[in-house]
Chain A
Amino acid sequence: MAVFDIELRLLLEAIYLRYQHDFRSYTVSSLRRRLGRALVDLKVENLSRLQERVLREPAVLARLMQYLTVQVSDMFRDPSYFKALRETVIPVLKTYPSVKVWVAGCSAGEELWSLAILFEEEGLSDRTLFYATDINPEALRDAREGVFAVDRLAGFSKNYLASGGKGSLADYYHASYGGAHFARRLIERAVFADHSLATDNVFSEVHLVSCRNVLIYFNRDLQDRAIGLFAESLVRRGFLGLGSHESLRFSRHAGEFEPLVSSERIYQRR
């Protein structure tokens, strides 16, 4: 085994024992690159030195979390996914007196806010409760704030329209110093929580789980655990939406779902 890989495994074990953040089942190929970048940016010689610092300085863990977890997404990323939700999933959700949606691994909130706008336009806001969960406290704070850089709005807006948006994205934010602030009313009924797909359990029964491009960073075992949580959390005939190139095909839980919109990786609980 290469020294780097030994150090990598020991570092993840140290983080788990010291802080209970469990990255031990993340894909090694991605972690190598992310931690390699962290070494350069933090000016640390090797992963053993980094381990020593993480164990003694919680502030270093906070910085490292940005490398281990944060990923940039866009609002209405893959517009066809949101279009399929609007056309296929929303009509079913409208038949429920109340709806619960779990945005698992919400990161900085792009997916949550996109869904919140979609649900508002479809008249479901008043009876929908969103659970937005992540393991990174800074990302959760950003997700709750709903402030995005102004230079990203053109792309967001283009996606929004392609997704079948009924108005203008500008209806939902006001631009001011520091960025575009999205309307608080959209997430009035959202709960933000620290929740780990690696170590925590199911916390509620939900009708839709949207978890896009989070599982790609997990190895097969951890993917199975996460998908098992989704299966357990979803009501019968509840919906699961994944990223465009994620699939249940290789999962132990494949039999518990059936494809609903295959091209968009939207599944329905059996």
Chain B
Amino acid sequence: MKRASARVSFDVIVIGASAGGVQALGQLLPRLPATFAPAMVIALHQPADASGVLAEMFDAKCALPVRLAEDKQPLVGGTVLFAPPGYHTLIEGDSAIALSLDPPEHFSRPSIDVLFESAAWGFRNRALGILLTGASADGAAGLLLIQQAGGAAWVQDPATAAADLMPRSALELGVSAQVLSLEEMSRRLAQMAARYSDLTLSGEIRNDKENN
């Protein structure tokens, strides 16, 4: 039986998190295998004047290259991009990052809704949205859009979240997401490894990682 939610791999994975997000990502990102196939874009609520050291910090701990997103940077499989603090981060079509300084949403820039909405438009059923811990309702509406466009939705089990408002808001909004612990998410993500053909596609950026 084939349903949209039965997909086991995706072209893009967008992740949203707020309070407690750094710790939650700390359980997910370092466990991604070097052969991980999808491109990943993360919107984490941070103060606008926060520096971009988070990407560097994760880069040192991860098998995959982790970078701060730059405007018009091409999306590449097996690469993790963080939204820069103070900027909305969108995906233009299904190929590149587009930044924006439009007003904050839910008092947040980057806003998770903004990122998720753009992924829904650009990737339809090839997108997976993941909403983690947070004391904000940002991301719920965006996750619903991803699902309505045929994509898949995961939320962190509110019972396990440092702050449960964010995952709870998505469920209360009616997103029929899979409710998972971080361990279960991590296990499933690890299975999204690249086939050989995908590996050559993302070979350039992998070399980039090795050179650092």
Q: Are B70 and A245 in contact (CB under 8 A)?
A: yes
Given B69, B70, B98, which contacts A27 in the complex, CB threshold below 8 Å? Answer: B98
Would you call B84 an interface residue if the criterion is a C-beta within 8 Å of the partner chain's C-beta atoms?
Answer: yes
Knowing A30-B102, A32-B121, A213-B101 touch, does A247 contact B96 (C-beta < 8 A)? no
A29-B121, A32-B121, A216-B101 known; A247+B71 contact, CB < 8 A:
yes
Give, as a whole number of angstroms, the nearest-CB distance from B85 to chain A: 10
Contact with B along A62-98 (1 / 0, CB 8 A): 0000000001110000000000000000000000000
Q: Is the C-beta of B118 less than 8 angstroms from some C-beta in chain A? A: yes
A32 vs B90: C-alpha distance when bound (angstroms): 11
The answer on a CB contact under 8 Å between B114 and A216 is no
Q: Beyond A27-B90, A29-B92, A32-B121, is A217–B84 a contact (Cβ under 8 Å)?
A: no
Q: In the complex, what residues of B have CB within 8 A of residue A2's CB?
A: 121
Q: Count of chain B residues with Cβ under 8 Å from any Cβ of A?
A: 25
Q: Taking the nearest CB of chain B, how far is it from the CB of A180, in angstroms?
A: 22
Are A245's CB and B68's CB within 8 A?
yes
Quick check: A30 and B100 within 8 Å, CB to CB? yes
Query: How far apart sit A243 and B87, CA to CA, in the bound complex (Å)?
Result: 11
- Contact B90–A245 (Cβ < 8 Å): no
In the bound complex, do residue B99 and residue A245 qualify as a contact, i.e. CB atoms below 8 Å apart?
yes
Interface string of A1-44 (1 = CB under 8 A from B): 01000000000000000000000000111101110000000000
Contact A30 B68 (CB under 8 A): no
Whether A216 and B99, one on each chain, are in contact in the complex, defined by CB atoms closer than 8 angstroms, is: yes
Asked if A29 and B98 sit within 8 Å, CB to CB, the answer is yes
Does A29 lie within 8 Å of B102, measured CB to CB? Answer: no
| Chain B positions within 8 Å of A28 at CB level | 92-93
For residue B149, give the distance in angstroms from its CB to the closest CB of chain A.
9
Which residues of chain B have a CB within 8 Å of any CB of chain A? 68-74, 84, 87, 90-93, 96, 98-103, 114, 117-118, 121-122
